[in-house]
Amino acid sequence: MDSLKLLAAMGKLLKLHRSLRELADKKTDIVKKGDMDALTQLLKEEQAHITAISKLESERQNLAAAIVPAVDKPSVSDCLTVLHGEEKIMLEQMRSELVEIVFQIQQKNELNQQLIYQSLQFVNLSLDLIAPQPEEFNYGPPAGRVNEPGRSPGMFNSKA
C-alpha cells in the first residue's frame, strides 16, 4: 500500500519537475528578450513550483521511511531493494526520468545564469558609457608623489 503511495508521489514529482523544466525554457526566451515583467511573473511561478516540490519531497521521504524502516533517511534506491515486480520497474523508470529531468533543469539554469550575467555586464557597460566616473578632484600632492615628513606641502613654511 505504501509503495503505491510512493509511486503516486513520484508521479507528482515528475509532473512538477517537467513543468519546472518548461519554465526554465521560457525563462531563457524571456531573458533573451529582456522582458522584466514577464521574468518577474515567471520567477513567482517557479517559486510556487519549488514550494510544491519541497512538500512532495517531504512526503516521498516519509513514504520511503515507511517502506524501509530499517534505514535512516531512505532513498528511492533503498526502496528499490525492497520492492518487487511491476512496482519496482515503475519506480526505477520514474527515478531515472526524474534524474534526467533534474539534470536538464540544472543545465538550463546554468545557461540562464550566464545570460543574466552577460545582460548585467552590458547594462553596467552602458551605464559607464553614459555617465563616466568623475576623476578625483581632491586637493593633495600630485599622483605618485608623497609628502616628506617635516616638509610643508605648501609654498610657505609655517615654522618660520
- pLDDT truncated to tens, each residue of the chain (160 aa)? 688 898 999 999 999 999 999 999 999 999 888 888 999 999 999 999 999 999 999 999 999 888 888 888 888 888 888 888 898 899 899 999 999 999 999 999 999 999 989 888 888 888 877 876 666 666 666 666 665 665 555 566 566 5
Q: Against a cut of 0.85, is the pTM above it?
A: no
Residue 95: inside a domain: yes
pLDDT at 22: 95
Return all residues near 73 (Cβ < 8 A) that are at least 6 apart. 61, 65
Residue 74 backbone phi and psi in degrees, to 5: -70, 150
Range of the domain at 43: 2-130
Sequence-distant (6+) residues with CB within 8 A of 108 are: 21, 24, 25, 27, 28
- The count of structural domains within the chain is 1
Q: Is residue 98 helix, strand or coil?
A: helix
In a domain, 93, yes or no: yes
**CATH for 105:** 1.20.58
Q: Is residue 155 part of a domain?
A: no
- Does residue 44 lie within any of the structural domains? yes
141 inside domain = no
DSSP 58-96: HHHHHHHHHH-TTSSS--HHHHHHH--HHHHHHHHHHHH
The reply to whether 106 falls in a domain is: yes
